[in-house]
Amino acid sequence: MNRYVLIAGIICAEALGVSAQTQSKQVRRLEKQRTEMQKKIEKTSRELQLIQKHGAEEHKRLKLVQEQVANRKEVISVIGKEMEVLQGQIDSLGGRIAHLRNRESRILAQYAQSVKALQHSKEGRNQMIFLLSAKSIGEARERQHFLSKYALSASRLAKELKETRGEIQRTQDVVNATHEQKAVTLALRDKERKALEVEEGKHSSNISNLKGQEKKLSQDLARQRRQASQLDAQIQAQIAAEIAAAEARARKEQELRERKRRQAQASKQSRTKEPNKEEVQTQEKETEASQSETSRQSSIRGGYAMDAAERKLSGGFAQNRGRLPMPVRGRYDLVRRFGMQQHSEFSRVSISNGGIDLRVYGDRNAYCVFEGVVSRVFVTSGYGQSVIVRHGNYLTVYANLSSVRVSSGQHISSGSVIGTISSDDSDGRGNILHFQLWHERSKQNPEAWLRR
């Protein structure tokens, strides 16, 4: 019976050993996973430091902080799993110790029972007397065999007791080491939780900063849109006024020519005989041809009525599409293109631009891109002083100037200095020339016309 109990104890011990090995592998796997996550956190921290060092955009920093928070939460989750496994190991080892304690008690009881039985036996007190008191040699042999078995059993019990106590001590050592490992892991979890609180605080702070920036950006964009609308309104009003003035001049010139034609015809009729019908028609055609060459005409209905010189100028401008010089000299950056585009920092924000914006770094002069006539010099909010130059039915606009070197009605050539680009950066337009190009009443993309 005792033998079966011993075998069962050995099998149980092996099973517990296999379970402990499996749990140890699980702990090692979780530790490896935790180490990998901590490496990710360290990498993200380095990227954050680099971004803060170079003053990068707030939304990039927010993205990294969000990633940092997610990684930190995952590390805490892995640590929690580690602690569950370690606690499982402690519970399993506790059960193992209890089992060994039971076996130790059983062995001690058996050993004590054997010793007690031997002590109660008078013969057992002296093995020699016990053997010599046998009635026959056969009985003496049986008594010798009994004593040998007794000694062997006692030795086995003593050895088993020693091994059991040794295993109890080793198991207890493992339990103590596991408790220590759990304490270290618990301290690490507390450290990660505190770090997570800091990261979440940064996250909340960055979100608040980002919302503040978005609010300020919305206000700035609204103001810039109003300023751009005011600039466009000034340009459109000037275009409309010039078209109306050109039409009025064209009508007056037509009326004057018609009056002169009638006067000339009446004078000729008074000096000569009545002209025949064919001669009258020929004279009228010649007059119309002469008038068409010198009179003001628009290329489109409702457009700017040009005289011969302006038509020639407009034709020359159109022929130079893609070959016009830049309105700035030296080093520059194209900071905003024409039309609707995404904001450089906020992906959800779109902005519209009626021209192009060029940031200069050396020469702050704005230069005329083609010969023409200065139509108007005016001031508008956000763009400072602005100049419109007419090239037939094309116009170029030079805005955000701090000073102007031309005046209305002045004829200027290509490359003439229009004025000085403003360096005032209060609206974010410091050293930036806003340049527009119009054909009649329609805005054109300046990039398609300029040679870069």
Q: What is the mean pLDDT of residues 395-421?
A: 96
Gap between the Cα atoms of 65 and 199, Å rounded = 7
Share of the chain above pLDDT 70, in %: 64
> So what's the pLDDT on residue 289?
47
Burial class of residue 135, CB neighbours in 10 A (0-12, 13-18, 19+): exposed
Domains of the chain: 2-215 (no CATH), 317-448 (2.70.70.10)
Convert the pLDDT of each residue in 317-374 to its tens digit: 999 999 999 999 999 999 999 988 776 555 566 778 889 999 999 999 999 999 999 9
Q: What is the mean pLDDT of residues 58-86?
A: 71
> So what's the pLDDT on residue 59?
61
CA dihedral defined by 423, 429, 433, 436, rounded to 10 degrees? -150
Convert the pLDDT of each residue in 111-140 to its tens digit: 677 666 655 554 445 666 666 666 677 776
How many Cβ atoms from other residues are within 10 Å of residue 326's Cβ? Answer: 17
Distance of CA 79 to CAs 31, 37, 176, 325, 337, Å? 8, 11, 19, 66, 52
pTM of structure: 0.53
Whether the predicted pLDDT of 13 surpasses 60: no
Partner residues linked to 117 by β-bridges: none
Of 267-276, 385-394, 437-446, the poorest mean pLDDT is in 267-276
> So what's the pLDDT on residue 62?
65
Range among 5-14, 116-125, 217-226, 357-366 with highest mean pLDDT value: 357-366
Backbone torsion region of residue 409, taken as left when φ is above 0, otherwise alpha when ψ lies between -120 and 50, otherwise beta: left
Confidence band, pLDDT 50/70/90 cuts, at residue 47: low
> So what's the pLDDT on residue 444?
94
- Structural contact between residues 343 and 434, judged by C-beta atoms closer than 8 angstroms: no
> So what's the pLDDT on residue 2?
43
Q: For helices 277-294 and 137-271, what crossing angle results, to 10°?
A: 140
How many Cβ atoms from other residues are within 10 Å of residue 343's Cβ? Answer: 12
> So what's the pLDDT on residue 396?
97
Whether the predicted pLDDT of 78 surpasses 80: no
Of 95-104, 156-165, 339-348, 423-432, the poorest mean pLDDT is in 339-348
| Three-class secondary structure assignment of the chain | CHHHHHHHHHHHHHHHHHHHHHHHHHHHHHHHHHHHHHHHHHHHHHHHHHHHHHCCCHHHHHHHHHHHHHHHHHHHHHHHHHHHHHHHHHHHHHHHHHHHHHHHHHHHHHHHHHHHHHHHCCHHHCHHHHHHCCCCHHHHHHHHHHHHHHHHHHHHHHHHHHHHHHHHHHHHHHHHHHHHHHHHHHHHHHHHHHHHHHHHHHHHHHHHHHHHHHHHHHHHHHHHHHHHHHHHHHHHHHHHHHHHHHHHHHHHHHHHHHHHHHHHHHHHHHHCCCCCHHHHHHHHHHHHHHHHHHCCECCCCCCCCECHHHHHHHHHHHHCCCCECCCCCCCEEEEECCEEEECCCCCCCEEEECCEEEEECCCCEEECCCCEEEEEEEEECCCEEEEEEEECCEEEEEEEEEEECCCCCCEECCCCEEEEECCCCCCCCCCEEEEEEEECCEEECHHHCECC
Whether the predicted pLDDT of 392 surpasses 80: yes
Instruction: Return the higher-pLDDT residue of 345 and 85.
Output: 85
Mean pLDDT for the chain overall:
76
Q: What is the mean pLDDT of residues 407-428?
A: 93
Confidence band, pLDDT 50/70/90 cuts, at residue 279: low
> So what's the pLDDT on residue 273?
52
Of 161-165, 233-237, 441-445, the poorest mean pLDDT is in 161-165
Whether the predicted pLDDT of 399 surpasses 80: yes
Q: What angle do CA 189, 190, 192 make, to 5 degrees?
A: 65
> So what's the pLDDT on residue 436?
95
Whether the predicted pLDDT of 213 surpasses 70: no
Whether the predicted pLDDT of 272 surpasses 70: no
Confidence band, pLDDT 50/70/90 cuts, at residue 410: very high
- Structural contact between residues 352 and 221, judged by C-beta atoms closer than 8 angstroms: no
> So what's the pLDDT on residue 56?
45
Convert the pLDDT of each residue in 90-119 to its tens digit: 777 678 778 777 877 877 777 677 666 655
